[in-house]
Amino acid sequence: MDGFVNDVPAPGLFIREELEARGWTQSDLAYVLGIAESELSAILAGKRGITPERAKAFGKAFDVAAELFANLQNAYDLSRAREPDPNVERKARLQSVYPIRDMIKRGWLIDSAASLLEAQLASFFEASSINEVPQLAHAAMKSNYGDVPAAQLAWLYRVRQIAKEMVVPAYSEKALRKALAEMKQYMIDPADTRHVARLLSECGIRYVVVEALPNSKIDGVCFWIDDSPVIGMSILKDRIDNFWFVLRHEIEHVLQGDGRDLAIIDSELEGAGGGTGSEVPEQERNANKEAADYCVPIREMESFFLRKNPFFSERDLLGFAKRMQVHPGIVAGQLRRRLNRWDLFSKHLVKIRQSVLSTAMCDGWGQVAPLSN
């Protein structure tokens, strides 16, 4: 029908009806509006749009709200606009749940059309189709990870991808407990954290370091591939105290056999997640207690705290750390946690990430783990 696009009439049709109702000619309306008759003819024919200024003028001329003509023009313009690429809606669905752009930047996915991107995501999450991907549309209720933030879940599956390709000997709890004792000597010099990956591998543990995705707030994970334990860490906080606490926390999960059925995902271990109160799940309380005791024996820490509180000098810190045979930053971390004073002894919280990454299987910080597929 002339003047219609997809059953949406051009604004000129309504203007003609108003002219007829008033018995006006186009020349009359052009005169009232103070515009050339040729401009009005173009508007009536749908060849020229109604600008906001003209909408106000038509409103005054016909004694109606200017929004009427603005809305008529907007509806007509939308009806004439081309349909968007179908990829837009499908990609928006994916991006609304998972950090797709960040996953592409990290090399976990290859930017492509929506259909190929969906297929990649299904493969990434070891699902048969996009509708089986955890937390996406209808699959959300089927997922055992329904309460896990999507960014953490993506990080977990990246750790899993890398761990599956690692070759380690059979896991030995006896070897791991022996390695824990040996690792004590590496808690003095930050550079010695490079030995951790080797020791864990010799015990049959697949140790993977993957940079956290933005806003994921994840510290570590423990799960099993068959009878082989996996420890994943993000080194989200690149500090010697946090590294040893998170590492020992995850090792305790391994020793207790946690994560065999469902991965244990640990986040905010420096905050509420690192406590030992009744609000923290029992297996997490136990792991936190063992981690704190490993960093600095709890009885020794308690004695030091009672003797020096509330004044802890630099000399006190260094002397106690030397006696405990750990880096001062590890003691500082325990003090900060106990006092809830995150400003104390900050200079001792040295970075260790580069030392750890020098020997560990890693992904992130500008490098992509080499995978076979």
Q: What is the mean pLDDT of residues 328-350?
A: 91
User: Is the pLDDT assigned to residue 141 strictly greater than 70?
Assistant: no
With cut-offs at 50, 70 and 90, classify the pLDDT of residue 96: very high
**Which pLDDT value is given to residue 53?**
94
CB 329 within 8 A of CB 350: yes
What secondary structure does DSSP assign to 237-285, as a single string? S--HHHHHHHHHHHHHHHHTTTTSSS-EEEE-TTTGGG--STTS-HHHH
Which range has the top average pLDDT, 125-129, 133-137, 236-240?
236-240
Summarize pLDDT for 158-209 with one digit per residue, the tens: 999 999 999 999 999 999 999 999 999 999 999 999 999 999 999 999 999 9
**Which pLDDT value is given to residue 3?**
54
| Alpha helix ranges (H) inside the chain | 11-22, 26-33, 37-44, 52-62, 66-80, 86-97, 100-105, 114-124, 150-164, 173-183, 196-202, 240-255, 282-295, 298-308, 314-324, 328-339, 353-357
User: What does the mean pLDDT of the chain come to?
Assistant: 91
Domains in the chain, ordered, with CATH? 4-80 (1.10.260.40), 86-143 (no CATH), 168-363 (no CATH)
With cut-offs at 50, 70 and 90, classify the pLDDT of residue 143: very low
Summarize pLDDT for 273-321 with one digit per residue, the tens: 888 888 888 999 999 999 999 999 999 999 999 998 888 999 999 999 9
Cα dihedral value 234, 237, 242, 244, nearest 10: 40
Residues in the chain: 373
Question: Higher pLDDT residue, 142 or 170?
Answer: 170
**Which pLDDT value is given to residue 86?**
81
What secondary structure does DSSP assign to 110-152, as a single string? ----HHHHHHHHHHHTT-SSGGGSTTSGGGGGG-TTTTS-HHH
* Amino acid at site 276: T
Summarize pLDDT for 102-134 with one digit per residue, the tens: 999 999 999 999 999 999 999 999 999 988 888
Residues 6+ apart with CB under 8 A from 246: 219, 220, 233, 266, 269, 291
**Which pLDDT value is given to residue 142?**
36
* Residue 11: closest CA among 40, 53, 34, 38: 40
**Which pLDDT value is given to residue 80?**
84
Q: What is the mean pLDDT of residues 350-358?
A: 97
User: Is the pLDDT assigned to residue 140 strictly greater than 80?
Assistant: no
Q: What percent of the chain has pLDDT over 90?
A: 75
User: Is the pLDDT assigned to residue 138 strictly greater than 70?
Assistant: no
